[in-house]
């Protein structure tokens, strides 16, 4: 079984924000594979199904970003899922909008959701798919930091690229499940954001 975790924040006010890119990708996977992602379990919305003839559990933690790891760890332990069958989808300010980066292991990059996952799983050796959301303009970043920026919705002008990237991220996860992390990294890490 594969565990695919989308990081985000609950509440309709966050639905189309940069910080909820992970949830957008899980919603697309659920749509493509007719997975009902509404069951409440492990402090998350969950959905069981099949992708590439493999059993999958999709989860959207409902604990807010900083405690996302609780849901991931609970699902992993309950279903006895190996670390190499876990993929976490998250937003990334350090990547331009539209860029994807899949990696196994590594740092949390200052992302509190990834930090929570690593702490709760007691390991950093899981796959993470970073969804580029760009960073705020320098002046805004210096005055207000990044918290306000990631909780703002994508602009109307950005939305076509967001939708395209959500689709590419879902394709990447399907490749990860079907062919493994190395194949997915080779195919999607070098792709441009257009």
Report strand pairing: 100-104 vs 127-132: antiparallel
Rg over alpha carbons for the chain, rounded to the nearest Å, is 15
Q: Which residues of 27-38 are buried (b: 16+ CB within 10 A; e: fewer)?
A: bbbbeebebebe
Active site residue 79: no
Please give the Cα distance from 84 to 86 (Å, whole number).
6
State the angle between helix axes of 159-179 and 21-32 in degrees (0 to 180), rounded to the nearest 10: 60
184 in Cβ contact with 176 (< 8 Å): yes
Sign of the four-CA dihedral 188, 49, 74, 167: positive
Nearest to 115 by CA among 101, 126, 100: 126
Question: 19, 77, 79, 85: which is the annotated catalytic residue?
Answer: 19
Chain center to CA of 2: 14
Nearest to 95 by CA among 29, 18, 184, 10: 18
Give catalytic residue positions.
19
């Amino acid at each position: 079984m594969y565990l695919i975790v989308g990081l985000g924040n609950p509440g309709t006010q966050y639905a189309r924000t940069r910080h909820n890119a992970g949830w957008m990708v899980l919603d697309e996977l659920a749509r493509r594979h007719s997975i009902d992602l509404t069951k409440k379990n492990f402090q998350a919305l969950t959905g069981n199904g099949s992708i590439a003839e493999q059993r999958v559990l999709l989860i959207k933690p409902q604990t807010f970003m900083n405690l996302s790891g609780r849901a991931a760890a609970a699902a992993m332990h309950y279903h006895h899922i190996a670390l190499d069958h876990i993929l976490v989808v998250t937003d990334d300010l350090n990547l331009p909008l539209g860029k994807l980066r899949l990696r196994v292991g590594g740092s949390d990059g200052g992302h509190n959701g990834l930090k929570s996952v690593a702490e709760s799983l007691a390991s950093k050796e899981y796959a993470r798919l970073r969804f580029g959301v760009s960073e705020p303009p320098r002046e805004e970043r210096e005055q207000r930091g990044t918290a306000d920026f990631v909780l703002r919705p994508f602009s109307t002008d950005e939305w076509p690229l967001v939708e395209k990237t959500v689709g590419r991220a879902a394709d990447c996860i399907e490749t990860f499940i079907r062919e493994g992390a190395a194949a997915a990294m080779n195919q999607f890490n070098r792709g441009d954001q257009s």
